[in-house]
Amino acid sequence: MAHGLALDVSSQPFAKDPNCFVRELVSAYHAETGSELRTAAVVNFRGRYTNEVEWIVSGLRDASVEAALLDITEMKRTPRGLVGPSGEIIDLVYNKLDVRDIFKYRESGDYLDACAAQEVVSINPWISQWILSDKAILAVLSDDRFVSNFNAEQVELIARHIPWTRLVRAGVTTNPERRRIELIGYIRENKVNLVLKPSNATRGEHVLVGHLTPSEVWEEHIDRAARNPYVVQEYVRPGEVTALHPPSRSIKKMAYGIDCYVFGGRLAGFQSRASFDAVMNVGRSGILMPVAVANA
């Protein structure tokens, strides 16, 4: 397969500079405040979401920033600003949090209020987690009713990369061929070509791929989706790759996808996820794989 190709993993920016993400955190703080970053915290809640934390904290310390992993409950809002458990002022926080985990707990109030009042520079903020990462945004992008909000270049980009998506609700809309349809009936009749997903959930929770779902389960799920924040999407069949699957110590054929990383509006690189399940989840026997750029 690789005959005649030059395979290169080092051309990706984060391969050349493993600390480019940390540099972007430092740069973002300077752009926001005009000052040098002195203290930072990576913030999680009750020990959840620890991937990359050690690397981020170590990278910040290498950049001469006092940094630590802190639980959201360890910080307090004071007249001086947000402070850590020893009373130190915290200049910047990077959120390794799911806002759905924390908003109902009173002990997270000081932290959320400080972020809302912009008393600390908050990276991975709630707008990115709760609005921009909500799959409902894809319904806005793919619905012709909103096309006037985008220029010609953006319309072309959306058409090339965004699958047909609609919020699940009774009413008339257009299908992927732009014909008028009654949405709930369309979902019932086109199970094999569709996917149902909670609009704001992660790790493949409650996702149903139509052609893999029994009809009675699909029918039941349509009623649930119509009463809750759900989207329906055109099913895009993933590619397949044969690769080493370390957990089972075997070589297996798996579905895969490619993720891109963008730091500060610039491409930083790629990674790939592969899984036996059509709903890719690294936590459910999936794996991460490197991506090589092929030059003919």
Of 48, 55, 39, nearest to 121 (Cα)?
A: 39
Backbone angles phi, psi at 80, to 5 degrees: -85, -15
Per-residue pLDDT of the chain (296 residues; tens, 9 = 90+): 445 555 565 678 887 888 899 999 999 999 999 999 999 999 999 988 888 899 999 999 999 999 999 999 999 999 999 999 999 999 999 999 887 778 778 888 899 999 999 999 999 888 887 787 889 999 999 999 999 999 999 999 999 999 999 999 999 999 999 999 999 999 999 999 999 999 987 777 889 999 999 999 999 999 999 999 999 999 999 999 998 888 888 898 999 999 888 888 888 899 899 988 888 777 777 888 888 877 65
pTM above 0.85, yes or no: no
User: Tens digit of pLDDT for each residue in 76-107?
Assistant: 999 999 999 999 999 999 999 887 778 778 88
Exposure letters 238-251 (e unless 16+ CB within 10 A, then b) = beeeeeebeeeeee
Cα torsion 53, 81, 111, 130 to 10°: value is -80
Domain boundaries, the chain: 37-132, 136-234, 239-295
d(CA 56, CA 64): 13
User: Which class is 37-132 in CATH?
Assistant: alpha beta
